[in-house]
Structure 1
Amino acid sequence: MSEFKFNTDLDQDLIDESILHALVDAIGATAVNDFLHRFIDDCDARTHRIIEAYGKNRFSEVELEAHTLGTSAATYGAVKLEVVCRAIEYAKPFKNEFFDEKIEQLQILSMRSLEILREGIK
């Protein structure tokens, strides 16, 4: 996977590079690069939709978006993001401190994971 270089020193365990290496082995670096660009755009959009839906108490939408984002995050090695998405998906969403904390974690992990991926595919 010589075309990708991820700096995970500061944010260890946010991106599991072995997953990306396996994808490259399976479908090639060019395809992975294309898919990562799509994932980055999709992740950003879904994170915003989750936050917006949560703010408007549309919890079924929160659950669906968290499920979809979590699945994509797992596919592209964003393992910590996947974990928080699963916590949001499987929780019974309603406004409380636990859920507020998970939404905040989602924002942070999404931003940091995407920064690492963007740097890696330049």
Structure 2
Amino acid sequence: MKQRKNKEVSSQDLSQLVVKGMIEKKGQDVAILDLRQVKNAIADYFVICSGTSDTQIDAIADSVEFEVHKAIAEDPWHKEGKENREWILIDYVDVVAHVFKKDRRQYYDIEELWGDAERTLIEETAA
């Protein structure tokens, strides 16, 4: 069974660090899906955002990793999608970040797939 190294940081706090990394690079339509009450959920939280270009998607993913590592010295357990840059997944075990190209997000529609989850939309702030 996979486990995070830094168990002192709650999954909720980790999800906020992921959001910070996404907002830092202007991730769009940032949403947190709270899966803790969803039967058979594979994580506590999904944090999802969209980007408009390959370059931005790559930058958002790098920013997420940077913010999490800077704050709690934790590296992802698993990541994939960096090569094609249409859907980059960064798995921190309890929290999974999904960085989508806008059309791919609509196509896969994981918010609908996990429709039982409590969904929180993050207001975009002017930086």
> What range describes the TM-score normalised by the shorter chain of this pair?
0.3 to 0.5
Bigger strand share: 2
User: Between Structure 1 and Structure 2, which shows a larger proportion of helix residues?
Assistant: 1
TM-score by length of 1: 0.37
Structure number with larger C-alpha Rg: 1
